[in-house]
Amino acid sequence: MIHSIDHIGIAVSDLEKAKELYRLLFGVESFHEEVVESQGVSVASFELNGIRIELTAPTNETSPISGFIEKRGEGIHHIAYRTDSLEQDLERLDSAGLKLINHAPQPGAHNMMIAFVHPKSTGGVLMELCAEKK
Ligand code: ZN
């Protein structure tokens, strides 16, 4: 079951600049930082009352974040929803005819398994489903 918002992913081109901005905006003192090679991203995240904000920068030119920034500029990239049944959700959405970007869970940041649903199927918002690694 999909039960809560896990995080909001924000595409940034320069992680250090973005961290400076969020320090200024929210007084964030420390970020959790991580590179997710398989997704081509480097992430700096912090929490606001239980909701994580993930500043996500591309690590190379073929990163999906590079493509996104090229097309649409920096900004909200995706909303991630927490589920406790990732495989079943993917099956359910797939059989309902939604366009999945990942048909199987992939490793994500924060030791989570993740999968993306295409914005063409979700009203224009890239949707990530994430679940704790079993
Ligand atoms: Zn995410």
Q: Give the model's pLDDT for residue 49.
A: 85
Average pLDDT over residues 12-24: 97
Q: How far is the centre of ligand 1, averaged over its atoms, from the C-alpha of 27 (Å)? A: 22
Q: What is the pLDDT of residues 54-78, one digit of tens each?
A: 999 999 999 999 999 999 999 999 9
Q: Per-residue confidence at 10, pLDDT binned at 50, 70, 90?
A: very high
Q: How far is the centre of ligand 1, averaged over its atoms, from the C-alpha of 24 (Å)? A: 23
Output the CA–CA distances (angstroms, integers) from residue 21 to 12, 14, 27, 28, in the order listed.
11, 11, 9, 9
Outline where DSSP puts E strands in 16-74: 32-36, 41-48, 51-58
Q: How far is the centre of ligand 1, averaged over its atoms, from the C-alpha of 91 (Å)? A: 20
Q: What is the pLDDT of residues 68-121, one digit of tens each?
A: 999 999 999 999 999 999 999 999 999 999 999 999 999 998 999 999 999 999
Q: How far is the centre of ligand 1, averaged over its atoms, from the C-alpha of 112 (Å)? A: 10
- Note the pTM of the prediction, 2 decimals: 0.92
Q: Is the pLDDT of residue 50 over 90?
A: no
Q: How far is the centre of ligand 1, averaged over its atoms, from the C-alpha of 96 (Å)? A: 23
Q: Per-residue confidence at 7, pLDDT binned at 50, 70, 90?
A: very high
Average pLDDT over residues 120-129: 96
**Which one, of 29, 61, 55, lies nearest residue 42 by Cα?**
55
Lookup: tokens for 20: 């400076």
Fold for the domain defined by 2-132: 2,3-Dihydroxybiphenyl 1,2-Dioxygenase; domain 1 (3.10.180)
Q: Give the model's pLDDT for residue 86.
A: 97
Q: How far is the centre of ligand 1, averaged over its atoms, from the C-alpha of 127 (Å)? A: 9
Q: How far is the centre of ligand 1, averaged over its atoms, from the C-alpha of 130 (Å)? A: 8
Q: How far is the centre of ligand 1, averaged over its atoms, from the C-alpha of 81 (Å)? A: 9
Residue spans of the domains in the chain: they are 2-132
